[in-house]
Amino acid sequence: MFYGITSGIISSKKYEFNHVIKDIQTLNKMAINSELHTTAVSANAYLQIQDKYRIMDCGASMGDNYGPIVVAKNKIQINSETKIGIPGKLTSAFLLLKLYLKDANFIELNFDEIVPAIENDEIDAGLIIHEGQITYKESGYEVILNLPRLWSDECDYPIPLGLNIITRSLSIDEQNEISQIIKSSIKYALANVEEALDYSMKFGRGVSRDIAKEFVLMYVNSDTVNINSRGINGLNYFYLKAKKLGLIDELPRLDIIETF
């Protein structure tokens, strides 16, 4: 998404972007502490920062019949004692899991520590948010909770996972201008996929180019260009279901910046 900006192809005489590359749980915490002007965050974490940040209409990561899954070495029955590794309690993946799983022994780990922990029998299962959604079969794992399938059985819209947000401390004009620059970068990447993928491979954690491309295009697509096309419906459903189940207290204010 940010290749256009990083490469200088999409630029601004007014703004300079300093890329902070962290896992999503760390970015969630940084946003809660108001450390970033604009960032990706989990839709779950947005509940805690809605008064400090607005949602951009671009940059969202939506799962359209795919998304986080719970995997294990073997088929197991989940109970309250089952140790499930999760990539952080602020992540959308964890709130999604809670929509369909009442209780288990949730163990917080860095997202890239979950598969090794399964392999070493430190946990019984893991909530996977990375390329493991594609490669779990190659690793010999079984899906024990197919969250995207459960979601699609009751909702026709994609699962909201990540959102792009911008601080309210900037003026409205500044928020709009920066959002437009980021949308232009996303559009450039989608129009020049192979070029942008060359850049993205630096962060591929050793996966093949084909797997990286498949994973990237799962989460950078038309819903990423404009959340209002379909994603907003998924986001509303996500929060409404969580509230009905008592997982959140109030529905957030969805204050979305619209760009062209």
Summarize pLDDT for 2-26 with one digit per residue, the tens. 999 999 999 999 999 999 999 999 9
Contacts of 224 (CB under 8 A, 6+ apart): 1, 58, 59, 60, 61, 62, 186, 190
Is the pLDDT at 74 greater than 90, yes or no? yes
pLDDT band at 203 (very low <50, low <70, confident <90, very high): confident
Coil/strand/helix, residue 39:
strand
Is the pLDDT at 247 greater than 80, yes or no? yes
Is the pLDDT at 207 greater than 90, yes or no? no
As a whole number, mean pLDDT of residues 45-66 equals 97
pLDDT band at 204 (very low <50, low <70, confident <90, very high): confident
pLDDT of residue 166: 98
pLDDT of residue 198: 95
**Angle formed at CA 218 by CA 213 and CA 220, multiple of 5 degrees:** 85
The dihedral of CA 239, 243, 248, 253: what is its sign? positive
As a whole number, mean pLDDT of residues 30-49 equals 98
Is the pLDDT at 64 greater than 80, yes or no? yes
As a whole number, mean pLDDT of residues 215-232 equals 95
Burial pattern 90-108, b for ≥16 Cβ within 10 A else e, equals bbbbbbbbbbebeebebbe
As a whole number, mean pLDDT of residues 124-153 equals 95
Query: Which has the closest alpha carbon to 156: 73, 234, 72, 52?
Result: 234
Alpha carbons 91 and 80: distance in angstroms, whole number: 21
Place of tokens 């197991």: 76
Percent of the chain with pLDDT over 70: 100
Cα of first residue to Cα of last residue in the chain, in angstroms, is 16
Alpha carbons 243 and 145: distance in angstroms, whole number: 22
Alpha carbons 26 and 110: distance in angstroms, whole number: 9
pLDDT of residue 205: 79
pLDDT band at 121 (very low <50, low <70, confident <90, very high): very high
What are the tokens at 198? 């060359």
Domains parsed from the chain with CATH numbers? 3-62+158-257 (3.40.190.10), 69-152 (3.40.190.10)
As a whole number, mean pLDDT of residues 57-85 equals 97
Alpha carbons 228 and 255: distance in angstroms, whole number: 12
Alpha carbons 196 and 207: distance in angstroms, whole number: 16
pLDDT band at 206 (very low <50, low <70, confident <90, very high): confident
pLDDT of residue 188: 98
Alpha carbons 166 and 218: distance in angstroms, whole number: 24
